[in-house]
Amino acid sequence: MVKGTASKGKHQKITHIRCRRCGRHSYHIRKSKCSACGFGKSRKMKNENWKWKTVTRSRRKDLKIGRQKVKTARTF
Taking phi over 0 as left and psi of -120 to 50 as alpha, with beta for the rest, 58 belongs to alpha
* Contact call for residues 28 and 35 (beta carbons, < 8 A): yes
**pLDDT tens digits, residue range 29-57?**
999 999 999 999 988 888 887 777 776 77
- Averaged pLDDT, 11-34: 91
pLDDT at 9 (0 to 100): 72
- Averaged pLDDT, 23-33: 93
Q: How far apart are CA 71 and CA 41, in angstroms?
A: 35
Q: Which domains does the chain have, with CATH numbers?
A: 13-42 (2.20.25.30)
